[in-house]
Amino acid sequence: MKIAKLASIALLCAAVAAGISPVVSAQPQGDYGPPLETVKTFDTFKLVGIGVSHEGRIFASAPAAESGDRLVEVNAQTGTVTPYPDQAWNTSGTDTEHEWAIPQAMWVDKADHLWVLDSGRAVLTAASPGAKPKLVEFDLSSNKAIRSYGFDGTVAPSDSLNDVRIDLVHGYAYLSNVGNRGSLVALNLKTGRSRQVLVGDRSTFADPQQHLMIGGQPAQTNDGKQVAIHADGIALSPDAKWIYYRPLTDHNYWRVPTSALIDVRLTPVQMSRKVQYLGSAELTGGLIMDQHGTLYGGDLEHSTIVALDIDPATHKVKSRLFVRAPGRLSWADGFAISQGYLYIADSHLWEVTFKNHLPRSGPLTIFRAKLPG
């Protein structure tokens, strides 16, 4: 029996033991929830990542851009787009340390600093020539880079760092890795040292029995393979005690204590035992947690946004519809929260990435919706 098949069987057995099962729900109809406000539309800018400062400054990234700007600031009043932090960072050349290759995701921390994750390799594609993953911190008062972190010796070319959260309580960054076998990465912001954890764990490796579906068929890469995207969405709890995460192509939700992620003494087995399974819910792209401990994510199978609460008694997720806007929302991908609004990057990945793609339904759009309370 081939190793890959053995691994799939082992993963399936572990899933059954944990009580994991996919969620199947009916396609909803009609508008629901707070209205989606259009902030900015794009035609050729391949929007994926978004970051919003405490004062409402908006940043957007196009990691798959073949030419032109890859990271921009959007003026919320005029819609004007300018390269960020300047044109030099958006110019393809030989200085990959001070240029954007694949700016995948952004995060604004509690100190109002902007962090940009340049993966160097987008999911489902090869690495950019000469590019290495980096995490860059910017002071928004001066728009100057404070520090850039590399990951040499931590990630391989087959890895693909996807999203990031900054923990100023413990002085760490936590990143998800969709590539290779899936993992999380913990980066010490003081020393610059990083390590991969939960590599190929059942919580970071997408369940091979579940698939991202397009038109009733599993999503396919351009070479016709079924898409398997591992640890993707990631969120940090308001008290910085938990990291929530999930693979993109299954329905499972997980969390692990940040105290475990930063404990270098834990063996892989001990680390895996710290992980909590939170149950099965909608297949979401991107995750974010608000100050009340509610998770938000884009339900990719129904083109909606859902809110997920953690039951304090069972520690399982319970989902509810937050926003539905048929014909407007396609693939809610990147998220940010600022001034009481949830900002959404609608990347239309259904329609621009996969071999069995859908027809392009509209412009790539930054939306926002008012959060409760």
pLDDT at 122: 65
pLDDT digits (tens, 9 = 90+) for 248-266: 999 999 999 999 999 999 9
Q: Sign of the CA dihedral 40, 106, 206, 133? A: positive
pLDDT at 190: 98
pLDDT at 130: 64
Dist. CA 160–CA 153, nearest whole Å: 14
User: What is the pLDDT confidence band of residue 334, given thresholds at 50, 70 and 90?
Assistant: very high
Range list of H helices, the chain: 3-18, 258-261, 268-274, 349-352
Percent of the chain with pLDDT over 70: 90
pLDDT score of 154 more than 50: yes
pLDDT digits (tens, 9 = 90+) for 105-121: 999 999 999 999 999 87
pLDDT at 2: 37
pLDDT score of 16 more than 70: no
Q: Taking the CB of residue 7, how many other CB atoms lie within 10 A of it?
A: 14
- Please compute the mean of the pLDDT values over residues 25-51 and round it to a whole number: 87
pLDDT at 124: 56
- Average pLDDT of the chain to the nearest whole number: 89
Dihedral-angle region of residue 368 (phi above 0 means left; psi in -120 to 50 means alpha; beta otherwise): beta
pLDDT score of 321 more than 90: yes
pLDDT score of 8 more than 60: no
pLDDT digits (tens, 9 = 90+) for 74-114: 999 999 999 999 999 999 877 888 999 999 999 999 999 99
Range of the domain at 312: 3-370
- Please compute the mean of the pLDDT values over residues 163-190 and round it to a whole number: 97
Percent of the chain with pLDDT over 90: 72
Alpha-carbon Rg for the chain in angstroms: 19
Helix, strand or coil, per DSSP, at residue 113: strand
CATH number of the domain at 101, please: 2.120.10.30
Please provide residue 197's backbone torsions phi and psi, each rounded to the nearest 5 degrees: -135, 160
**Cβ–Cβ < 8 Å for 238, 293:** yes
Number of domains in the chain: 1
User: What is the pLDDT confidence band of residue 170, given thresholds at 50, 70 and 90?
Assistant: very high
pLDDT digits (tens, 9 = 90+) for 337-370: 999 999 999 998 877 777 777 777 789 999 999 9
**Terminal CA-to-CA distance of the chain, rounded, Å?**
55
**Cβ–Cβ < 8 Å for 229, 123:** yes
- Paired residues of 186 in beta bridges: 174, 195
pLDDT score of 11 more than 50: no
pLDDT at 136: 98
Helix (H) or strand (E) holding 358: none
- Distances, alpha carbon 264 to alpha carbons 36, 159, 199, 203, 278, in Å: 43, 21, 15, 19, 25
Helix, strand or coil, per DSSP, at residue 104: strand
Please provide residue 351's backbone torsions phi and psi, each rounded to the nearest 5 degrees: -105, -5
